[in-house]
Each structure stands twice: as C-alpha cells, then as structure tokens.
Structure 1
Amino acid sequence: MSSTASKKIFSLLFSSQLSNSIRLMSGFSGHKLVYSEFGEPIKVIHKEECITEAPKNNDVVVKMIAAPINPADINTIQGKYPVKPKFPAVAGNEGVGEIVSIGPNVTELKVGDRVIPLQSGLGTWRTHMSLSKEDVLKIPKELGIIEAATLTVNPCTAYRMLKDFESLKPGDTIIQNGANSACGQNVIQICRAWGVRTVNIVRNRQNLTELSDYLKNLGATHVLTEEELRTTSIFKKSGDLSKPKLALNCVGGQNALEMLRHLDNNGSMVTYGGMSREPVIIPTSALIFKNLKIKGFWMTRWSKDNASSIDRFEMFEELISMMTNNELRGPSHKMVDFDNFKEAIMNTMTVKGMIGKKYILSFSN
C-alpha cells in the first residue's frame, strides 16, 4: 500500500473517531415539549430541539420509549394543579425509557436497561432525559411497554388506597365510584388478585350493558349505576355480600354520600378526586354513630414522603409481578407518534365514551 493511501485511511479513521468523540462529548440531540406559561396546552406547548449532555458522575441518559398524557398533566399545564413547575418547563410525569449512557460512578445500571422515572415533574415528554441514578427504577424487559409507561400513577394510587386505610382480607368488600376510570379499573383488578369483592358505581349511559360486561371481565363483583345505588339491597341479602369496609371516592357530591350510607361501622371513605366538582358532605350521624373515618389521598405527596421507603419498592415489586403474570393489565390506549403530540393532547382533553383511551406518546421514530 502506498504512503499516500495509508495517510488517507488514517485520516478517515481519525476523522470518524473524532466525530464520535465530539458527538459523545456534546451529548444527545433530540426534542422536547416545553411551555413557558400556564394556559391551554395546544396554545402554550411547543416542540423545540435540545441537547442532552453526556452523563456526569452519578447520572444516566435515558432515551424515552413511551410517555402517557394524563389528566393531571393537562391540569398542570393549565395551572390548575397543586404542582407549579418553574418555567420554562418540560411537560410529562410518567414514562418508560432505555438507558443509552451512564456516568463513571454508576455501577448498578448499564446501557440497555429499561427504566421508569421515580419522581413526578421530571418532564417525560422529550426524546432524552439526563437523570440521577437515584431517580430511576430498573424494570424487567418482559414488562409490557404500556404497563411500564403507566405504572407510577394509577396502579400505585389504587394499590396504596387499598393497602393503607383498611386491613382488607379475602372475602371483604370495597365500594368505589368512577369505576370505569383508569384508577378504578386498577382497583378492580388488584382486588380480584387479592380475593376482595368490589361494588362499582358508574354513571348511567346507553352502552351500560357493554360497560358492565367489560368491568366484570376485569373482575368486578357488582356494577351499579348511581340511581341503582340508592335503592340496592345487595348488602341486605343473607350471605350475598358483606358491607364495605372501604369506599373510594373520585366523584364527590351526592354520589359520595350514597356510598357513605352503605359503609360498615368503623369503615373508611378515601377521596382522591372530585370529578363532579361538588363538595363531599358528611352527615354528623356517620361520624358519631358509625364512627366512619374520612380521609383524602394524593399519590404525588405519598411518593414524595416515601421516596426511599421499603413500602414503595415492595409496592412496585408486587405490581410488576401482577402485570407480568397478566393479573393486572394496562389501560385501553392509543399510541401516537411524538411528532403528532397535538393530536394526543386534544384527544385526552375531549375523551368521551365507555372507557376513555389513554393517549401515549411514542418515541420509536
């Protein structure tokens, strides 16, 4: 080989290595969905290019695979949620991704591991994220993408409410409204796995039979409309069903009051939402003569208060086990390409029907 040819080959190799070094030093190019003021998401959210720097000592770079759009995400962007991010902010609280680079001090994780973020407000609607190793949880690759992407909000909310307020055992009964919601469906499936019976309240609608069949297929014991709840005798029939020890309320108003009437003495009602925007009214007799406990629950606060607790990681372990064993499945959903984020946001804000679809951003492209 001539000297000239050798120099050309060396030059090409050196240029290639230099190019790779520059790319690694400069980080990973991608895009993120950003907003700099509160308002309607379609108006204030915009997509912009970004560089995610190469990871420092204890950090990892995660390439996102999927990230859902939750009602809480919409409310946060609108400024209607208790969490108020600093501007400019990247939207999104949940998701799943794959590690593509690790810092020099990271030994517990490796490139190729699949992870989920452990904190809310990290901004998951972006192609790449640089996170501390403490802010991610490694998950098994056999866990489905949808289950992984939606793990930290609704399944965890359902699990904690069933676990923390009453000591439930097989054969016990709980009652919940908003049973066709994403959280409600998780409650039904977890109770089925634990042998707990569920009475599930939904609004009357044209396709009620179809909805009832859907929820019963998930494991619902009974499905009642709000009107049927007022006159039901299912708790009075001998040997049929014990009175509920726990009521889960995401509606409020008259619906919550009707559930309260059926709670057993010393039972608990936990409120985690207020879709009717009507107050929860508690009769004095319920407090004095039935000794009912009235509580509230917010998953974001629980996660913050229990960030490193053994209870949190045991919860993840049990939920992941249920999911990989097909006892707990992800929500009805539609994957939407990241470039079409406006479609996903609009559909989340206007979703109607028997079972609302969860719109999930896909970063596969």
Structure 2
Amino acid sequence: MNTLLGTPEPSAVAGNEGVAEVKGDWVIMKHTGQGTWCTHKALDESQLLKIDDKEGLTPLQVGTVSVNPCTAYRMLLDYGKWSFREDEWFIQNGANSGVGRAAIQLGREWGFKSINVIRGREDQTEEEKLKKDLYDLGATHVITEEELLGREIRDKVKEWTRGGREQIKVGLNCVGGKPGTALAKFLSPEASMITYGAMSKKPLELPASLLIFKNINFTGFWVSKWSDKHPDQKKQTVDDVLRLTRSGKFKDIPVQECKWDRDTDLDMLKSAVQGTLGGFRAGKGVFVFGET
C-alpha cells in the first residue's frame, strides 16, 4: 500500500524553496523504493503524483490505486489487440484477487467479456456467494479450477465464444502450474498470456503447439518496474481509475484493515503479515497508520 502524505510546508520541500503547488493535497509516490513505510517524509514534489480531485474518494482508495487496479489496467490494455466491438474476451485465474476484481470491472467498462477462474470452496454456499460477487462486478462467466481442468469446459467455452468466432485475446495468470497451462490452452491464435504471479509455486509448462501453431505471446508483468519506466502513464492510469471510482463504476476490493498506532503490539503486526501468506482470505491486508 502506498502511504498518503500530508504535503510539507513549502520551505520543507527539498530543493524547491517556496514551492506550494501541492501543499495540503493528497499525493502518491511516483516511483518505487521511496520509503512508503513512514508517517512523514520530505520529498521534492517532482517525486510525487498529486491527486487532482480527492472529492468523493477515501484514503484507502487512493492509497491502493497504483497497485492492483493499475496492474489490471495495463495488462489488459497493453497486451490485447482489441477492436472494442464487445465481442472479445479475456480469461483469468485468481479472479477473486484484487487484480482479478479490477480486471472484471475494467473489462465491463471497456466492453470485454471474461471467463474467471477461482479456487473451489468446500462450503458450496460460500462458493456461490463468491461467484455472485464477481458476477455483480461484471464477470461474464465464473468457473472453478476443477471445472477448468475438467473435460466439459472445452465445449462450454466453444459455446460461449460462438465456436471461437469471438476471440479470447488475453490471459491473466497469477497461479502457474497446471491451472496456468490449462488457461493458456483456451487462448485464441496471436493472443497474449501475461503472468504476474505464481501462487501455486509451481512452474508454468507450455505445450509447443501454443508457440508454434497458435503463436501465443507469453510475457510477464511487474507493476513496480512498469511504474518506474512510465511515470506519465502511471499518472494517466491512476486518474482514470479514480474517475471510474468517483462515478461508482469501480468498486473497492475487500480488505482486512490492521490499525497501526504508537502502542500497537508488535506480535499483532507480525500476525497480520503472516496472515497474508495463507489462502482463502476475506480481503487484502492493509496497514492503516494512526497515532505513531
């Protein structure tokens, strides 16, 4: 999570004495590695991205916008050869993650249909609730990993895509292993599959046919590296996601907040971090600074 900064007084802005361009505004870091784990910091304003209009936004929305939403935004737009005719698809695993939920909402906004893969739950009521949550966000179809790896899914995908006439142009992979390989097999010729995570901790094995006969492009994406190389595009992406948020077209991801005050017990903070490594979490872990 990027820390929101109360901009320092003009005289405290390093190297720009008298600058008051961003005084009192909300800002996020322009580049990575600038030290987000702090409550106060003096920086040159050239190192910050100002939030031009914070009306209707919460600190949590602004503090998280440059991570998951930007990841989904850039992967979909930068790697898909879209015609925006509302007859094009993307497929993704980890669909209930922060990136997955963002991709569903952005896809709905841009007219993309989606096949969304989640891990099945032992509690069927919980699984159906999760599926409904994703459908409410704009998912076209939601299936489990078991269904993805099953025999019947090929006929279903063929039916959904009108026999392949509607192409699946992008795959978003954060799992790897057999589920990642199965995902790739449904991509149309000349499509792109972008790997941005490896939750299964297993390698992605690619059949040669996907490379030779379908000429699918396999690549990786790391939003931190992208942000450092494209600060202007980062600003545009952040602004667009926040525009959608203000208009009610982009909803917050579920989060588990951990308050971090001066007297917060260290073991509680450690437990909060450790909890992010487990599966089936109720939401993304977020530290919220209080009195420090």
Range class of TM-score, shorter chain: 0.7 to 0.9
**Count of matched residue pairs:** 270
Asked if structure 2 preserves the Cα contact closer than 8 Å seen for 1:147 and 1:329, the reply is no
1:158 counterpart letter in structure 2? A
Shift of the 126–349 alpha-carbon distance from structure 1 to 2, 3 Å rule, reads same
Matches of 1:239 and 1:358, distance apart in 2: 33
The equivalent of 2:158 in structure 1 is: 236
The equivalent of 1:106 in structure 2 is: 19
The equivalent of 1:315 in structure 2 is: 237
The equivalent of 2:14 in structure 1 is: none
Tell which deviates more after alignment, 183-192 or 237-246. 237-246
TM score, norm. by length of structure 2? 0.86
TM score, norm. by length of structure 1? 0.69
Q: How does 1:142-291 map to 2 (within 5 A)?
A: 142=55, 143-168=57-82, 169=84, 170-205=86-121, 206=123, 207-230=126-149, 231-232=152-153, 233-237=155-159, 242-291=166-215
Could you say what secondary structure the match of 2:41 adopts? strand
Shift of 1:354: 4.6
Q: How does 1:14-163 map to 2 (within 5 A)?
A: 68=1, 94-103=2-11, 104-110=17-23, 112-139=24-51, 140-142=53-55, 143-163=57-77
Shift of 1:323: 1.3
The equivalent of 1:3 in structure 2 is: none
Matches of 1:212 and 1:364, distance apart in 2: 35
- 1:124-181 Cα deviation digits (max 9, x unpaired): 2222111120111111222221110101111111111011111232331000001111
Tell which deviates more after alignment, 262-271 or 320-329. 320-329
Matches of 1:156 and 1:210, distance apart in 2: 26
Larger Rg: 1
Could you say what secondary structure the match of 2:80 adopts? coil
Shift of the 175–344 alpha-carbon distance from structure 1 to 2, 3 Å rule, reads farther
Structure with greater strand share of residues: 1
Matches of 1:341 and 1:183, distance apart in 2: 31
Asked if structure 2 preserves the Cα contact closer than 8 Å seen for 1:99 and 1:113, the reply is yes
Shift of the 126–147 alpha-carbon distance from structure 1 to 2, 3 Å rule, reads same
Matches of 1:237 and 1:323, distance apart in 2: 34
Asked if structure 2 preserves the Cα contact closer than 8 Å seen for 1:158 and 1:186, the reply is yes
The equivalent of 1:13 in structure 2 is: none
Aligned-residue CA RMSD (Å) = 2.0
Could you say what secondary structure the match of 2:134 adopts? helix
Asked if structure 2 preserves the Cα contact closer than 8 Å seen for 1:188 and 1:220, the reply is yes
Shift of 1:195: 1.4
- 1:104-126 Cα deviation digits (max 9, x unpaired): 2424222x211111222222222
Shift of the 221–238 alpha-carbon distance from structure 1 to 2, 3 Å rule, reads closer
2:274 counterpart letter in structure 1? M
Matches of 1:355 and 1:196, distance apart in 2: 28
Shift of 1:329: 2.2
